[in-house]
Amino acid sequence: MPSIARPSIPAAAVAPHRGSHERHADVVLSGGAGGPSAAVARDSGPERCERTARPPLPDNPWSTPSEAVRLVLRGRTARQALPIAAVVGTILSAVNQGSVIASGTATGDTWLKVGVNYAVPYLVASIGYLAGRRVTARRVPDTLEWQRYLAAFHEERPAVTERLLARADHSPYGWLVEPLHGTSGPVLDLACGSAPTRDVLPHARWLGVDSSAGELSAAARAGRGPVLRARADALPLGTGSVDAVCAALCFPLFAPIEPVLAEVHRVLRPGGTLVALVPSRLAPHPTGWLRWTGLMRALGIRSQPWPTPEARDGLGTILREHGFAVGSEQRRVFTLELSTPESVELLIDGLYLPGHDERRIADAKRRLAGRARPGHRLPLPLRRVVAHRPA
């Protein structure tokens, strides 16, 4: 696509905010001198973080007795328990019921006892196998771990969220920015990623901010700009310098969220608009619940972890508590097309799975990709919140 000219941004808008969170920021322009890669070569923004090394989970991990029982019922312990049960059960049956069976006088009760001879060793062997695989309930990583994980995630998979949402039946980004059409002043895209909202706000005085050099490089390669590399809780913008802020799928990832909301409130002019898109819980759905449950089970989790889960369906309440006037909240269910193995792999790659066993993820990809077929769809519930900074 052709490069997008740099929109007019007031000088005050890019003046660093002199406060306790002062940062330098890189300005990245699409089609800038030296090309997109050169535009983000200088790392003067937030420090790059490497993912912390964490030991992988064992095969067949469990944290509650019910999970252990399900593993046994699904045959996950069979490979280890069956050989032991076969040997022990045969010995017990030969010693205790062998003569009766040999004489041809075995009854139903005899065969029931034979079954018990095999079942008990199987259960004991299963318990022994699972005893070494108990894990504590998977916790949500602390703030520092999340920051490191997210930094590595977006450096390794730039634009993955945009590519995944491109498979939706309608554009979530287009829906997000609908309330901003006609905005004449500067529009800030908070945690802009690869800057997909630039394409749906082509005439806006748009500015993107993100802390990931990898995502901003992807934005530059797509001809989208201008963008700044900076932290969401330390925006290098003047007070009251933007007319609107849009935020796509980022608020549940901020921990703590309070400094980010304070910065958004600060840079918005009085009466300015905030539009936010966040994940929403899945309401009763004929097949959607089963498909999402199958995906989570394949990954060995109950739900996707979030640093600030209350900033999903509860975002409106949080915004009110931090000085915003919420104008509207709407929920909409999009549909993801998962008709090919590649689309299933893309879905899993787009999930935040901190501390997860890479082998388990690879196995889930193989198994679920094998079930992909034309017409296979997955519901994606999202919530849009429109709020304002009181005048």
CATH number of 367's domain: 3.40.50.150
Residue 290 makes CB contacts below 8 A (sequence gap 6+) with: none
So what's the pLDDT on residue 3?
Answer: 34
Structural domain harbouring 85: 65-131
Q: Is the pLDDT of residue 2 over 80?
A: no
Residues 242 and 159 in one domain: yes
Residue 135 has pLDDT above 60, yes or no: no
pLDDT in tens, 25-49: 444 433 333 333 333 333 333 333 3
Backbone angles phi, psi at 382, to 5 degrees: -130, 155
Look up residue 46 and give its two tokens: 């937030």
pLDDT at residue 86, as a whole number = 94
CB 197 within 8 A of CB 173: yes
Residue 342 lies in a domain: yes
Q: Let me know if residue 57 belongs to a domain.
A: no
Q: Average pLDDT in the 306-320 region?
A: 94
Strand order in the sheet with 268-279: 26-28, 227-229, 205-210, 186-190, 242-248, 268-279, 377-388, 325-337
What does the pLDDT average to over 129-142?
A: 62
- Residue-level pLDDT at 301: 83
185 and 216 in a common domain: yes
Residue 198 sits in the same domain as residue 240: yes
Q: Is the CA virtual torsion 339, 344, 345, 351 positive or negative?
A: positive
The answer on 179 and 220 residing in a single domain is yes
Q: Is the pLDDT of residue 251 over 70?
A: yes
For residue 73, what pLDDT is reported?
Answer: 87
Residue 50 forms part of a structural domain: no
Q: Are residues 218 and 243 in the same domain?
A: yes
Predicted confidence (pLDDT) at residue 11 exceeds the cutoff of 50: no
| Token pair 């046994």 in the structure block, residue | 72
Q: Is the pLDDT of residue 161 over 90?
A: yes
Q: What is the dihedral of CA 333, 169, 384, 261, to 10 degrees?
A: 120
Query: Is the domain of 147 the same as that of 181?
Result: yes
Q: Does the pLDDT at position 51 exceed 60?
A: no
pTM exceeding 0.75: no
* Range 41-59 average pLDDT: 38
Query: What average pLDDT is seen over the chain?
Result: 83
Cα–Cα distance for residue pair 213/45, rounded to 1 Å: 9
From residue 223, alpha-carbon distances to 2, 5, 185, 212, 296 in Å are 6, 9, 22, 17, 36
Q: Would residue 155 count as lying in a domain?
A: yes
Q: Is residue 83 part of a domain?
A: yes
Q: Is residue 247 part of a domain?
A: yes
The pLDDT score that the predictor gives to residue 348 is: 93
- Report the number of distinct structural domains present in the chain: 2
Do 72 and 35 reside in the same domain of the chain? no
Residues 33, 95 share a domain: no
Clarify whether residues 239 and 183 are in a common domain. Answer: yes
pLDDT in tens, 353-376: 988 888 889 999 998 888 888 888
Same domain, 95 and 173: no
Among 29-33, 64-68, 131-135, 217-221, top mean pLDDT goes to 217-221
**Looking at the domain assignment, is residue 14 inside a domain?**
no
Model confidence pLDDT, tens digit, residues 67-87? 788 888 888 888 889 999 999
Q: Based on the domain organization, do 260 and 310 belong to the same domain?
A: yes
Per-residue pLDDT reduced to its tens digit, 118-131: 999 999 988 888 88
- Domain edge (last residue) among 97, 131, 165: 131
**Domain end residue (candidates: 131, 152, 167):** 131
Residue 349 located in a structural domain: yes
* Whether residues 100 and 147 fall in one domain: no
Domain boundary among 108, 131, 154: 131
Higher pLDDT, 247 or 292: 247
How many whole angstroms separate alpha carbon 311 and alpha carbon 308? Answer: 6
Per-residue confidence band for 272, with pLDDT thresholds at 50, 70 and 90: very high
What's the confidence (pLDDT) of residue 238? 97
pLDDT at 299 over 50: yes
